[in-house]
Structure 1
């Protein structure tokens, strides 16, 4: 067999991929109104989530292809018993320079130091309201104080990058925009406003509560916030800052024009399926090539071949959210 040669991971549209979103579980303990309003429901006959060794082989293959950033997602990754071991393993893979995690803040206050020691250098924490009663209404849990304590603990533990994620919804929490801006400035933090995204089980909710990212951008610009240049390896957010003021605000607006042109990320589900797009029709199984280190070259070839077929854009504007049942299923 010829030696394996490549110049990084690209698709057929000139996009280069440096960022892997890796789901550790599809289980979540919150019941967010826009994602799992009835709570997580286990499906019979599902295979186990990837083992630590399978994850090591997977991330090693992606690192060989030039990916240097891995975000651990869920469901809720803190529910995965081996989370610390996984983070330590991923951060030790040659070529991986940044390990991040997206969490709802579950047990963050007590585990923040362990996360930092395991190599997690960045956290995105979901905070959809700064009002305790409304937070409980949106998430199904009265845990705002616990989540905020976890964020403080993560800062004390030395985790360098901590961002808040907030799904801003018309008629639900869009009246909190000014409060969020004040919180960001007071604590010198970064926040990401995320558009509600339609999936296969939230069509009615989406139609009632979708708030276009452009409306948020107009509000920020009217207050003197200015758009910042995109950073290498950044996620999908368009980021804003206000001169002389601490804090950053980003907008993730998948319904905006040309959202997909800067896509730099791929997703792998907890069961080992490669998803070229969050809203693609299905995932492609990689698990059969995660059983032995000797399969590494074959795994790299399969990833390269599949990534080359990535579509130019999602089909959300056509009302097509692909095979995604809900955002917790493959990490949002």
Structure 2
């Protein structure tokens, strides 16, 4: 089967697969009022996940990130990892988590086949952590970070959304942390979503400002690896850790797009923004439907737009990033 490619020559070998849109945190930039279910949602089951992974693997997907909401809220989360691991064409299995279950389960997930993990830690000040996330779980999450490092993951990353007037003063503390700790810090520029215009205008901090500061302090830009995604990664001879910047408002941000998203209810999303998603679930019930599913994927890639249009203030229909895995 030919690899997924759009009309702009971009190839897609990275799938962000949401397994739930439920989250137990109330982060101010995502779910400030907490998660509110719309009826009784039925998320993709293990059989549907296996068929989804199989189809994407046939068209060149090499890396799958299991996302949410908070993916570890799934009672069968370890089984989901095993299902993805069973496909020999998938070389990298990753997840993004708020870390609240990590201290207890890091080794279990590693043994099941998980190899990379991103942990959301928006502040190293417990009080600011609570203010941003709405949960007093800082110590639990940090124990989870230690457990992930001890478990032997290929790469442990810390995600932090930069927020002017809140955690923007945390940068020196974050950098001090990675001087002797081999983790990747990922600073994510705040993106405007449908429910957050006022919040965005109040707290948006340009990632380019952080980039300028890093370069002035002797950090150097690394050459991008094929599965790095949109992050610009920086290294420093005196630091064991790295810094990554995700700057969606930077020129040509979308030119290197290599990822697709499938929601927890089985919809394909070609972009975080601007579109409603394409139903795949009707073709996820049986292995025999794979060719038809692959044909649909190829067809939809021809409709992918060149950019997300955030620069023009168009935020699309996405109310919050938890709904389709960020």
Which residues of structure 2 form unaligned runs of 5+?
Answer: none
Find the counterpart in structure 2 of residue 219 from structure 1.
213
Match of 1:248 among 215, 231, 242: 242
Q: In the alignment, is residue 17 of structure 1 matched against residue 12 of structure 2?
A: yes
In the alignment of these two chains, the number of paired residues is 326
- Counterparts of 1:142-221 in structure 2, within 5 Å, are 142-221=136-215
* Deviation per residue, 1:214-248 (Å, 9 max, x gap): 00101111111111110011121100111243210
CA–CA separation in structure 1 for the residues paired with 2:35 and 2:70? 11
1:116 to 106, 110, 115: 110
Give CA-to-partner distance per residue, 1:70-106, whole Å, 9 cap, x none. Answer: 0000000011111111110011113001100000002
Aligned counterpart for 1:86 among listed residues 80, 89, 93: 80
Mapped to 2, the partners of 1:89 and 1:198 lie a distance apart of 34
Paired residue for 2:281?
A: 287
Root mean square deviation of aligned Cα = 0.9
2:83 aligned counterpart, secondary structure? helix
Q: Is the 8 A contact 1:54 1:291 kept in 2?
A: yes
**TM-score, scaled relative to structure 1:** 0.96
| Structure-1 separation of matches of 2:151 and 2:215 | 34
Q: Structure 1: which 4+ aligned runs deviate by more than 6 Å?
A: none
Contact preservation (8 Å) 2:65, 2:94: yes
Q: Which residue of 2 aligns with 1:129?
A: 123
**Can you list the C-alpha shifts for 1:159-199, whole angstroms capped at 9, x where unaligned?**
12100000011111101111111111121211100011111
**TM-score in terms of structure 2 length:** 0.98
Alignment match of 2:33 (pick from 38, 43, 53) = 38
Match of 2:98 in 1: 104
Q: What secondary structure sits across from 1:277 in the alignment?
A: coil
* Residue 47 of structure 1: how far off its partner (Å): 4.2
2-structure distance, mates of 1:328, 1:312? 23
For the residue of structure 2 that corresponds to 1:306, the secondary structure is helix
Distance (whole Å) between structure 2 residues aligned to residue 157 and residue 173 of structure 1: 29
CA contact (8 A) 2:274 2:314 kept: no
1:234-285 CA distance string (max 9 Å, x none): 1211001112432100000101110000000000000000000011321000
Structure 2: distance between partners of 1:271 and 1:128: 28
Counterpart of 1:277? 271
